[in-house]
Amino acid sequence: MMTRLLTSAALALSLLALSGCDESDAASVRVRLDAVPRDAAPKGQIAISTLSAPAAPTAAEQLTSGAGLSWSGRAAVILSRGQFDDLTKLNIGEVTFNLLRTPTQSILEVNLPRGAGVKWPGLLAVGDTGEMGKARAVMLPDDPDSKLGKIVKIVVEAPAKVTGTDSSVAARGLSASSDQKEATLVVPIAEALKEGDPIRWTIKWDTAK
């Protein structure tokens, strides 16, 4: 597993821009499923990007000096990458995955509980609203309307072209979409923390013969 800590806001944003990402990638999960036989466990790779506003100063801050120098805040993006042997046994906080396979189709259901007590949104955007506001002010000081730290994104790359995707919950800012092999769910953190039925995100693709 590889973890990269980017405590420089400029470097973090440059990384997102160079990789073709946007602000929603700062707090996100990306799952890539391997092409395996229908009777084999669904294995693959996972990458999790976490946004936070660290309270402790960095070594760079401590060793940087100058007349009138003061720091307005700090933000960090941590990218963790790894592998898993069975998607159906993978949990991200309370988020779970269930896969149904037929001779012609695979149907993945991602279950995301909602409510004030759920922990999974805070695993991706670490801190309360105030702390996320500080991180947003550091990374995007000229964009007060940015959604950075207000939304989380989950992307699943299937072994074949996605033929359908939808969410059981309809809400402002919540969306399920697909493009070729990728399916994407965007969830406002405020919506995830509302009391209500779980979000059941369904992804379908044709099963390889």
> Domain residues of the chain, as ranges?
2-58+73-206
Model confidence, pTM: 0.84
pLDDT for position 126: 83
Per-residue pLDDT of the chain (209 residues; tens, 9 = 90+): 333 333 333 444 444 433 345 677 889 999 999 998 888 999 999 999 999 888 888 899 899 999 999 888 888 899 999 999 999 999 999 999 999 999 899 999 999 999 999 999 999 998 777 788 888 888 888 887 788 889 999 999 999 999 999 999 999 999 999 999 999 999 999 999 999 999 999 999 998 65
pLDDT for position 4: 37
pLDDT for position 153: 96
Q: Which residues pair with 83 in a beta bridge?
A: 45
pLDDT for position 8: 37
